[in-house]
A and B are shown apart, each in its own frame.
Chain A
Amino acid sequence: MAAELLDLEDSAELTSVQTGPSGKKRRFLFMRNAKALTGLGILGFFVLIAIIGPWIAPYDPDARSKELLQPPSWDHLMGTTHTGQDVFSQVVLGTRSVLVIAFVAGFAATLLGIVIGITAGYIGGVGDESLSALSNVFLVIPQLPLIIIITGSLPSAGGLSVALVIAITGWAWGARVLRAQTLSLRRRDFVEAARANGEKTWRIVMAEILPNLTAIIAAGFIGTVGFAVLSQITLSFLGLTPTDEWNWGTVLYWAQSQLALQRHAWWWFVFPGACIALLGMALTLINFGIDEFVNPRLRSTGMNARDLRKRGIRPRIGFTPVVHEAKEDRA
């Protein structure tokens, strides 16, 4: 069953996995991927900051001081704002709300995508037609403007409502990919066998189909989390969320509205932005890892020149080496 994992019929990017190690080892294989590891490491770092933030922040993020617009120093690692607030403390304390909203939104959107995508792929017929039309509509409508006008019309846009708005607008991509994959799994022998055995529909879906979609669901989840990070930070940057609740977007909002640019206070927006970019990169790297995990062709293409030479692979036109990673050193 594990070998069926990635036989996406209508996607040229993903080709079927050759018979590989058993399930447990395959999971291990994912962890051995350098990109995925780097990504998970960075993500773990931010999660840690989000948890212990209140204890390690050196200052109260709202507290004003006499050190106005100071560049980074040992007292203020990321400098200070126009009222002498410590940017480092604001960034550290803002991490929690960024991650919580992103994960809540990612979780809700993924759940919605799973329900709609698998239902559409499994039932087929008119139900499938209308559900895929629905997700295609949501894919084509520009999401950020929609998010902006919904939050702009809400009387107060607290954390949870922002997360829900993002989830409602961001589920469609996952649903579409899951539908395509369910469609191809539905007629496989093992599913037919389960049906012939008289298994209940929900059991076929939960026990036979869902496990084969794990990688796609994971990739979709990570992608949605990245989308949610960008969206909520954009909303805060525009001042559509309460401006006294710290997250990285709020810091940027104050930097922009207090003319940090014209005052040459680069530290005020460079550091929070770098955090966004770092988190975004971490999520992208995890997704690259998942892609390479399921598509052996991409595995060799992800290597740099030296690695290829070390493994004795000479990149040539006309063939793509399939790399089996680290098979030899495990019993």
Chain B
Amino acid sequence: MRFFGRRLVFYAITFWAAVTINFFLPRLLPGDPVSALIAKKQGQLSTDAIASLKAMFGLDSNQTLWQQYLHYWGDLLHGDLGTSISYYPAPVTSIIKQGLPWTIGLVGISTIIAFTLGTLIGTAIGWRRGTWADALLPISTFFSSVPYFWLALIVITIFSVNLEWFPSSGSYDRDMVPNLSWDFIGSVIYYGTLPALTIILTSIAGWILGMRNMSVTVSSEDYVTVAQAKGLSERRVMFGYAARNAILPQISSFALSLGFIVGGTIVMEQVFSYQGIGFYLLSATSAHDYPLMQGCFLVITLAVLLANIVADFVYGVLDPRTRQEG
């Protein structure tokens, strides 16, 4: 249990660090973006919005930095991330609530598919190395060096513009009202296929390569040779003996690559006009909507942290050694 305790403390520290970065970032940056923004939007901003902007950038001269910091935490713990400028007067939290489920659904489902498929393929290639299966390696290397958004453009060109199989933008049919009917879910899947395909194509290579190299390393261990010598079936040795141990580093690298996948996805959402959190983050960035920008960043970080905690617990359950040493 000490292992889990230590990990939880670490994630608490990371969350605190992310919040603190978020707090200090607008205060440390050179220039004075808020005054510039207020001057530019003369008259369009209400006094409320100006006050919240000033508070956010520490222009509230009545308070010390420490008071501002405590105030910021207080707001945050009450779920108050400020008021959006570009979607005024909507609070940032309600905008994020709209976008978050889409991103989590998209990234979650396609990452699980990519992880499962990639690990299986990697096991198979590692097991049969030195055959035609090795030809898959350079192909997957290519896909892993490609930026998500570029592959999104290519995928749209092929499947949407030329073949006209799937729609090129949006997350569901705009004529429908979101509800829990089969029609609506079908439409979500239909619109989500291309974005999901993009994520799977780019992220699967990492899983294949990692699993392949690990199975190659593990397959020369003594216990695999023993299993082989006992006359167990090929499949039994491959999955029951080799893959079981080879998968452990996959899970720990899952935690590290998740941030990267999420980063790629939010840019890809822009290409597909997929109304997830990345879409809001980027539109906020180009509109200089600082409260929304920072709110999105904080929520993305929090989501990645939660996923990491889950991956850590899975790892702890699968590998008894971590629990002993911790």
Contact = CB atoms under 8 A, between A and B. Distances in A.
Contact of A145 (B145, B168, B214, B300): B300
Given A136-B10, A153-B26, A273-B150, A315 B130 contact: yes
Contacts of A264: 161
Contacts of B26: 153
A252 interface: yes
Interface stretch (B12-20, B86-94, B184-192): B12-20
Interface stretch (A17-25, A59-67, A213-221, A296-304): A296-304
A280 B145 contact: yes
A133 B13 contact: yes
A164 interface: no
A309 to B, nearest CB: 8
B200 interface: no
A315 to B, nearest CB: 4
A12 B249 contact: yes
Interface centre among B145, B260, B271 (most CB of A within 10 A): B145
A140 interface: yes
A280 to B, nearest CB: 3
B214 A155 contact: no
Nearest to B221: A318
Contacts of A15: 217
B114 interface: no
A256 interface: yes
Interface string A255-281: 110000110101001100100110111
A211 B11 CA distance: 34
Contacts of B216: 297-298, 301, 320
Interface stretch (B29-37, B46-54, B65-73, B172-180): B29-37
B293 A152 contact: yes
Nearest to A272: B150
B263 A149 contact: no
A139 B258 CA distance: 10
A137 B219 contact: no
Contact of B10 (A133, A143, A255, A256): A133
A317 B18 CA distance: 46
A37 to B, nearest CB: 15
Interface string A140-153: 11111110111011
A142 B262 contact: yes
B5 to A, nearest CB: 15
Interface in A227-273: 230, 233-234, 237-240, 252, 255-256, 261-262, 264, 266, 269-270, 273
Contacts of A97: none
A154 interface: yes
B141 A318 contact: no
B267 A237 contact: yes
Contacts of A304: 130, 134-135
Given A280-B146, A301-B216, A315-B129, A273 B285 contact: no
A284 interface: yes
A284 B144 contact: yes
A297 B213 CA distance: 10
Interface residues of B, number: 74
Interface stretch (B76-84, B116-124, B152-160): B152-160
B260 A137 contact: no
Contacts of B258: 142
B283 to A, nearest CB: 10
B127 A317 contact: yes
A319 interface: yes
Contacts of B219: 317-318, 320
Contact of A239 (B149, B286, B290, B293): B286
Given A148-B282, A281-B145, A273 B131 contact: no
Contacts of B293: 149, 152-153
Given A277-B142, A305-B130, A153 B33 contact: yes
B238 to A, nearest CB: 8
B298 to A, nearest CB: 10
Contacts of B131: 305
A143 B300 CA distance: 11
A318 B232 CA distance: 13
A317 to B, nearest CB: 5
A12 B217 contact: yes
A277 B146 CA distance: 5
Contact of A281 (B17, B141, B305): B141
B62 interface: no
Given A148-B282, A149-B285, A284-B144, A142 B153 contact: no
Contact of A273 (B153, B212, B308): B153
Nearest to A148: B285
29 contacts: A12-B214, A133-B10, A137-B18, A140-B14, A141-B21, A144-B263, A145-B262, A145-B300, A148-B297, A149-B281, A152-B288, A152-B293, A153-B29, A155-B29, A155-B30, A237-B267, A238-B270, A261-B157, A269-B150, A269-B154, A273-B146, A273-B154, A276-B147, A277-B150, A280-B146, A304-B130, A304-B135, A308-B130, A320-B219
Give the 8 A-B residue pairs with the shortest CB-CB distance, closest first.
A280-B145, A144-B263, A315-B130, A142-B259, A152-B285, A318-B225, A273-B150, A320-B220
Interface of B: 10-11, 13-14, 17-18, 21, 25-26, 29-31, 33, 36, 127, 129-132, 134-135, 141-142, 144-147, 149-150, 153-154, 156-157, 161, 168, 212-214, 216-217, 219-220, 224-225, 228, 237, 249, 255-256, 258-260, 262-264, 266-267, 270-271, 281-282, 285-286, 288, 290, 293-294, 296-297, 300-301, 304-305, 308
